[in-house]
Amino acid sequence: MYKLNLQIGEFSKLCGVTVKTLRHYEKLGLLVPDEVDPWTGYRHYHVSQMQQMMAIRRLKEAGFSLDEIGSLLDDGSPAPGVELLRLKLQETEEQIVLLQRRRQMLQEMVDSQQNHYAMEKITIEKLPAVTVASHRAVIDSYESLGSLCVNVIGPEMARMGCRCPQPGYCFTVDHNCEYRDHDIDIEYCEQVEEVLPESDLIKFKRLPEVPMAVCAKCYGPYSKLYQHYTDTFAYIEKQGLKVIDKPRCSYVDGIWNQPDPEKWLTIVQVPVEKA
């Protein structure tokens, strides 16, 4: 009976795989030529092996490794069973979650390069002396700061009759000695016109003038603020300045007037002096 064999180049072209790939599959034992000429070393594949090649391609595209494909072929299975397919489907779902996280991270990096989250401007300014209403608390995360201001501090200041000059000036000071993503010790301060009797939530203090502060405009949610400190402190060093007090984060646009966290504007203010 006539046996239709194809040389490796022709087989490669008809199956849509490179000769290099076929040699690799041969080395792994996935797809061994039907015949090898002992004199010339020419490899010939039988037409029936085209189906085997297509099965390998399909399994590879479905996410199976070459080792997994080799095990299936060794078992004589033309296709994986239902249980194996379900395991591969579950693995694929987990990979999708990881890829989505990676995509978000990469997008944030692109946004940062395009100054979406990055500094808009860095200046050196004087911070005037102010009287502030102060509330210090331990919060779960930076994301909960907006809710604290809107739902707790704001209503209490209104109940006490606090009057805030316009334009308003409010800021926070992070009292943690190291970075924390939870249980954050933070103090919220808002400028007021006068000192009133204190409550359990609100205290009053007079802050002296800061003759020199490096001020950097930053866009994005509060959890991204730490990324901006890198550029701010690099600028401080470049200008030959020395940090003399804890940085302030002054809030211009936030949850109270801007629903999109990516458009929140915070000004990082770092008190400095000449080194």
CATH number at residue 35: 1.10.1660.10
Same domain, 40 and 162: no
Residue 102 resides in a domain: no
Residues 33, 155 share a domain: no
Check pLDDT > 70 for residue 258.
yes
If asked whether residues 70 and 133 sit together in one domain, one would say no
The burial of 270, by beta-carbon neighbours within 10 Å (0-12 exposed, 13-18 middle, 19 or more buried), is given as buried
Does the residue 221 lie in any domain? yes
Gap between the Cα atoms of 84 and 91, Å rounded: 11
Is residue 231 domain-shared with residue 128, that is, in the same domain?
yes
Read off the tokens for 247: 């940085």
Boundary (domain end) residue, out of 80, 111, 141: 80
For residue 242, being part of any structural domain is answered with yes
Say if residue 109's pLDDT is above 80. Answer: no
Write down which residue in 54, 80, 106 finishes a domain: 80
Among 53-67, 118-132, 208-222, name the one with the lowest average pLDDT: 118-132
Give the pLDDT mean for 166-194.
Answer: 87
* Domain limits for position 75: 5-80
Average pLDDT, the chain: 86
Statement: residue 2 has pLDDT above 60: no
Is residue 187 in a domain? yes
In a domain, 92, yes or no: no
> What residue type is assigned to position 179 of the chain?
Y
| Token duo for residue 176 | 């943690």
Residue 50 lies in a domain: yes
Q: 167 — phi, psi (to 5°)? A: -70, 150
> pTM for the complete prediction?
0.56
We report the CATH number of the domain holding residue 241 as 3.20.80.10
Element (H, E) at 69: helix 66-74
Number of domains in the chain: 2
Task: For residues 134 and 253, state if they share a domain.
Answer: yes
Count of Cβ atoms closer than 10 Å to residue 263 Cβ: 14
Instruction: Let me know whether 49 and 127 are in one domain.
Output: no
Listed in sequence order, the residues at least 6 apart from 184 whose beta carbon sits closer than 8 Å to its beta carbon are 138, 139, 140, 141, 142, 174, 176
Q: How many residues does the chain have?
A: 275
Per-residue pLDDT averaged across 177-183, rounded? 78
